[in-house]
Structure 1
């Protein structure tokens, strides 16, 4: 009986304590929910209490691991050498090219100096250029016009520039012979350049009053629209002489066949190798490749142009000789592989030619 009373009394005390602690717990919970900063403060205090109760550590042990001075970024950067590539002053792989440039430059310089000093420079005869005067004279005798087609490309094409150089010579001869020259173009800039060229030629011939800008016309940028206009003009007017000087493509055969059908003397010049067979087959004279570009030096006779042409020919001749030696050396080496001299010669030629 006494034990039961004691247990009942203990339960009453614990219940009272629980009832008294519950409001405090609710207050703390509410404070924790409303004040996160208070919770953080309690966490810090708890950590401090745990730190006091923890066993004492060895005071002689270092608190922080020592840093190796040799492993710092500054030390590592100082230990690694500078990896920036340094370009050499002279690229030995381009030695052969450098020697060729020096050789050709020296040949051109010496040739120009010899030409200006009065020494004659001989250039082989080009039949197409020799026939210019006869072709213009034939048009004058027949009382018919001269047709000059400067190609179908703009002024950024070197063949168009070479064609306008030929136009200057043809226009000057036409002015001296009092012949009419027609120049249809397919680029407006080419038209302006052609007008300036023909005007200068007439002025140099002393026939400034014979120049007419209306004979140098712009047709269209369209390739075959331009071809149709020029061919129609050829059929109607039947020019006695036709010059085709410049860059041509599919229209080369159309022009040359039409000119051949009307019985005109035709002189053509282009660097387009795919169109040369048509001009050679249908025209009376044809400037092939480099002959077309050498026409200005051939016709003008200026020392600077003649010297430049001769210097370039010297360089081409030297390249041809080296290529011939290389072919012979390779052939002999294929027949007699044990020839050390030929092997060395072939290796040297490959280096000189940039192989």
Structure 2
């Protein structure tokens, strides 16, 4: 509700601040003649006016962030001019929270569009339509890497980073572990997995166990092959390096969050002649993996591995819908950039989040 009074050349308005979570009232005012200083007065029903703020001649509005929702406040502006004091009539307003930020309507439309695309592609995938996903060399090489290790009579080594189970990259790594473990079970090979977190060890043991059951070979599952080393970053790296040198794995998978130990692990794996496939979303470590490993899953390729390997309709549809959403956003950004070059800011203004 907007209330406006004009007293001579002084006008003042009070309204609930739009698109906020409540607790604020916006005052607007203007005075045609210069003034020296101004005071904002406020009171509640049955109370007396009290000074709550001062305004300068350059101000055109002021926000009262101390207002309580549901309480009716009265405001008055007192200006000191060269001719004297000018006082406005009281105006009132009530603060309340808004359910929806109207400045983010375009964002809501985009969210609805992307959700619609995801549901559409999930339905298509469940209906039997084959959804195209570009070939990811690192994931295509998983079966070949396990097969090579089996032919050499060497174990497969899997390292899911150094972070705990609450890290998304660790979870993504365990998803790939399931596929690797299933292949090692089918080929009757060994998978060795040192961990730096006890919870990761427990989750990995269950993941490998289920993979062996899926492959129909629960009899060759050995829970001792998934073991805990240490929480210490470089202690863990040293332990993994020692394991690589002793066991000489034929294939090494480095999937998860890595930091300064990434190059230490990758170089040691390269020195023992293992085929190495790495995956991480850590930009600072990607150059080391690209240099020392045979294949590297970069960023979103790593997170897309679950859908890529499982071919689950729900995951495939979600991945496809998100890709289309990103393509739409990218197209809008490019169009907005081109139009802005010529001074047309329509698209840019639409994409601005207030």
Name the TM tier (shorter chain): 0.7 to 0.9
User: Deviations 1:286-306 (Å, cap 9, x if unpaired)?
Assistant: 000000000000000011100
Aligned residues: 273
Match of 1:157 among 132, 153, 167: 167
Aligned partners of 1:115, 1:144: CA distance in 2, in Å?
38
Aligned partners of 2:212, 2:168: CA distance in 1, in Å?
24
Shift of 1:172: 0.1
Shift of 1:78: 9.5
Does structure 1 residue 347 correspond to structure 2 residue 346? yes
Q: Cα RMSD (Å) of the superposition? A: 2.0
Shift of 1:87: 2.7
User: Deviations 1:32-91 (Å, cap 9, x if unpaired)?
Assistant: xxxxxxxxxxxxxxxxxxxxxxxxxxxxxxxxxxxxxxxx94899999587431233432
Q: 1:93 to 1:137 in 2, by over 3 A?
A: same
Tell me, which stretches of 5 or more residues in structure 1 are unaligned?
Answer: 1-71, 334-342
Aligned partners of 1:85, 1:178: CA distance in 2, in Å?
69
Aligned partners of 1:206, 1:311: CA distance in 2, in Å?
34
- 1:109 is aligned to 119
TM-score with structure 1 setting the length: 0.74
- Answer yes or no: is the 8 Å Cα contact 2:336–2:347 preserved in 1: no
Aligned partners of 2:100, 2:223: CA distance in 1, in Å?
55
Aligned partners of 2:167, 2:47: CA distance in 1, in Å?
59
Bigger strand fraction: 2
| 3-state SS of paired residue (1:131) | helix
- Pairwise mapping of residues 124-143 of structure 1 onto structure 2 (< 5 A)? 124-143=134-153
- Pairwise mapping of residues 202-217 of structure 1 onto structure 2 (< 5 A)? 202-217=212-227
Aligned partners of 1:155, 1:165: CA distance in 2, in Å?
12
Tell me, which stretches of 5 or more residues in structure 2 are unaligned?
Answer: 1-44, 50-70, 75-90
- Answer yes or no: is the 8 Å Cα contact 2:72–2:93 preserved in 1: no
Aligned partners of 1:79, 1:195: CA distance in 2, in Å?
63
- Answer yes or no: is the 8 Å Cα contact 2:335–2:347 preserved in 1: no
Aligned partners of 2:140, 2:324: CA distance in 1, in Å?
24
Bigger helix fraction: 1
Q: 1:75 to 1:331 in 2, by over 3 A?
A: closer
Aligned partners of 1:252, 1:79: CA distance in 2, in Å?
61
Shift of 1:350: 2.7
- 2:86 is aligned to none
Mark the structure with the bigger radius of gyration: 1
- Answer yes or no: is the 8 Å Cα contact 2:277–2:294 preserved in 1: yes
Match of 1:237 among 212, 224, 247: 247
- 2:207 is aligned to 197
* More relative contact order, 1 or 2 (CA 8 Å, 6+ apart): 1
Match of 1:261 among 238, 247, 271: 271
Shift of 1:353: 4.6
